[in-house]
Structure formats: C-alpha cells, structure tokens
Structure 1
C-alpha cells in the first residue's frame, strides 16, 4: 500500500512538473512567435499571440500547432489622407505547421477580422460629416447613416458652389444613407444611396455626392490577413476574411 501511495505521489509530482514545463515552454514560444510576426510583417507594434491546445510540447514535437490566435491593436488606416484607428485585428489560425525554431509558420486555414468604430469613422469622414449606425434593417443591407450641416459638407468639395442667397438652405442638417463595400481587399468604399430632396440649386446634389462618396483604405494590416467582407454592425464596421496556407512568419 505504501509503495502504491509513493507511486501515486511521484506521478502527481511528475505530472505537475510536466504541466509547469509545458506552460513555460508555451509562454516562451508565444513571445518568440510574436516577435517574429512583428519583424516579418513590418508591424509597428508587437501582436498578442496565444498558442492553444494541451500539451504544447507534443505539438512542437509533431511540428504542428492545433490552434493559434493572433491579435493586434493600434492598426492605422487612412481615408483621403485622414487617419483612422482600427480597434483590433484578430486572426484565428488552425493546423499551423512550424519548424524547430519557429522561423516559419504556415496555417492550413485562417479566419481574420477587424473593426472600426463609428466614432473613428467620423474622425476620418469628410469635413462636417458624422457616420453612425443606420438601424438593423439598413445595416443588414450594408448601409450606414451620414449626417452633417450642408454648409460644412460643401466646404469639403473641390468645386465650391456659389452660396450667396442660399441662407437657410445651407444651414439645414443633411442625412444620407451610404452603402459600404470592400473593393480590393483593403479599401472600403462608401457610396451615398440617397441624397436629400428639395435642393433647388442645380448641381448642388452632385457636389454633395462628390464629398460623401469616398474610400477608406486600410493600411498597416498584417499581410496574411486577406479581407473579403465588410458588414455594418451596431458598434461599427466589421471586416473579415478567410484564407488557406497562410504564411504567418518566414
């Protein structure tokens, strides 16, 4: 009985040591992969890397990781030269093949996403425009709401209209609904679907459209993240995409 008890205690101790060693190893590997991702992708910040699955050491021995999550904050984008912040970029990687020192890592499949809040979208919008949630029905159709004083919006036009005598018309608040689409994997295009009626000045609606139709280019994204969808949610625009045989480092 005593021998059995000693064997059990030994097994528990060895098991605990194995778990501890496994966790130390995975923490070291996560840090090393994060540094390599930053350098190989030319990122301005180091991403957070989580290697999931247990035990980690057996995955390393087989040179394949079951599941790896990568998240990156502080990614920038531009809209006609205006900066906009992307709240967070995430990538979920599966079946990641690695070499012995993590100098290369290729994911069999990858799901990526990012989000820009309406507040940040408004900062990058044309002068005087505020971008907001358009409600569930319009959001389902991929639309956002854009509002702003007509006078302020027209100041952003390259072709300034003659404003003499327009008075109250220029002071009115304009509301339009714009569709969003992903054009080339990194450019979001906003196109006004509706323009306010009752503008009696010829050409004024065209000038307004020139201002409200604009592109948002997502710069600074990790190259493995290939976006192919954009959706309007109550928290902002969400970008997502999938890929196969995605190279993470190397």
Structure 2
C-alpha cells in the first residue's frame, strides 16, 4: 500500500507560496504609497518655490505669467531632509519689463538652478533663504521690442542666416529708399546688447559720395548698446544669438537667492 506523505507536504508549500505572494503585493503597495507621498511632497515644494519666485520677479519691476517650477531628483524626501536639491527648473512666460520707458517683451525665460539649498522650515513657512549654487537662464527678446528701443520709424528687425537683419525706410537726398543689411551682435558691459550695423545697402541710392555718407551715418545711428531689462536671480548676460523667434539671450549667475527675502 502506497504512503500518503507527499499529499501532506504539498499543503505547507502552497501556504508558503501564498505568504510570499502576499508579502510581495504588500511591498509593492508600500513602494507605491511612498512614491505617491514623495511626489505629493515635491508638488507642495514646487508651489511654495513658485510663490517665492513670483515675488522675486516683482522685485525687478517686471511681470510674468505664474511661474512653473519642477523640482528634479528622486527621491525628493531625502533631499528635504538634507536641505539640498539637485536641480530646480523654473519657466517664466510672458515676461514684461521696461527699459528707458519702453516695454520689453520676453515670451519665455527658462531658468535652471543647480545645487539649491533650502531648509524644510523655509519651504514650509515661505521665509528664509533659497540659495542656488549655479543658475543658468535662457530668454528670448522679441524683435519688435528691440526695434522699439532703436526708435526709428518703420524699422524692422529679424533673423537672416543666423544674423540680425534690418529693414528700414530712409529719406536720402529727397529720395525715399529702403535700407537693408545685417548687424554684428555681441554682449556689452552692463547687461547690454551691442548692435553694429556695418553693411547697409539701399537700392536706388544715388551714386554720389554724400548719399553714401548719409547712409553710413544712419548705420552709426542705429549701432548702439541696447540695455536689457533687469533679469531676475541676478543673471548676467553671457551670449546673444539671433534666431527666427527673437534674440536669444543666455545668462548665468552663482550663489544667488531665488526667492525674495521677507
């Protein structure tokens, strides 16, 4: 007669597998809850920082749409405990400032703050310092805003083959002509953009020295250092580049607060 021991051994094995499956499911649920809690906490911090960034923009006498903030790095909660965050990305849209009474429009300003120091109490209360070890910013100045600063009726700016192009009506020796050409664009001291129009032409320009002199004087008149509106986060302009969407400005700063002291 065969022994029945194997049947009795099977039941403990089945119970062991069920316990293991249950533990795995509980572990997955716990991990899921921790991830959700981590993201919820990150969302709270992002809203708190966005509120402080809004105040920082207002300090510069500028306006913008509500800032969008993204706290990078995972997990977030360990960064909270450490009081240091790998990266905080800030997007400002529809930024409007003024220079010498003229409105300057920046459709988008992207700010990337690295190694940000902020205590838990600062994030919770909104008071205290949020300091970034390094901040990089990229913004776009519209050509209409830039043209307004040159203060020449009918002058239009744009991009042509990677260079700043100009078109403008002029009156030379009684003739109404259209001036076209390009400019060299560089960064000048004091967060200014240096425009140098060295190669202007005008179809139908009279072939006399005086006409060429008048055209040259016009080029000198619009070859100026254009001041930019004060940028938030103490950003300093490092590079300017004409693109189809506008004049793209690259700036950076180090060890600066990204919130407004209260």
Conserved in 1, the CA contact under 8 Å of 2:56 and 2:233? no
Task: Name the structure 1 match of 2:240.
Answer: 230
Conserved in 2, the CA contact under 8 Å of 1:59 and 1:65? yes
Matched, 1:129 2:155: yes
The match for 1:20 among 15, 36, 39 is 36
Q: Relative contact order (alpha carbons < 8 A, sep ≥ 6): 1 or 2 greater? A: 1
Conserved in 2, the CA contact under 8 Å of 1:109 and 1:243? yes
Task: Name the structure 2 match of 1:160.
Answer: none
Task: Name the structure 1 match of 2:210.
Answer: 201
Task: Name the structure 2 match of 1:108.
Answer: 133
Q: Which stretch of the first structure deviates more once superposed, 46-55 or 226-235?
A: 226-235
Conserved in 2, the CA contact under 8 Å of 1:75 and 1:220? no
Tell me the CA shift for residue 121 of structure 1. Answer: 3.5
User: Residues 23 and 185 of structure 1: is their aligned pair in 2 closer, same or farther, counting only changes over 3 Å?
Assistant: farther
CA-atom RMSD in angstroms: 2.4
- Which protein shows a greater Rg? 2
Matched, 1:72 2:92: yes
Conserved in 2, the CA contact under 8 Å of 1:47 and 1:71? yes
Conserved in 1, the CA contact under 8 Å of 2:197 and 2:220? no
Matched, 1:10 2:11: no
Task: Name the structure 2 match of 1:248.
Answer: 258
Matched, 1:180 2:189: no
Q: Which stretch of the first structure deviates more once superposed, 224-233 or 18-27?
A: 224-233
Distance 1:224 1:71 in 2: 16
User: Residues 219 and 184 of structure 1: is their aligned pair in 2 closer, same or farther, counting only changes over 3 Å?
Assistant: same
Tell me the SS of whatever aligns to 1:219.
coil
Distance 1:193 1:81 in 2: 28
The match for 1:51 among 47, 51, 71 is 71
Equivalences, count: 229
Tell me the CA shift for residue 146 of structure 1. Answer: 0.9
Tell me the CA shift for residue 120 of structure 1. Answer: 4.5
Distance 1:80 1:193 in 2: 26
Distance 2:194 2:182 in 1: 13
Q: TM-score, normalised by structure 2?
A: 0.77
Q: Which stretch of the first structure deviates more once superposed, 176-185 or 119-128?
A: 119-128
Q: TM-score, normalised by structure 1?
A: 0.80
Identify the structure with the greater helix proportion.
Answer: 2
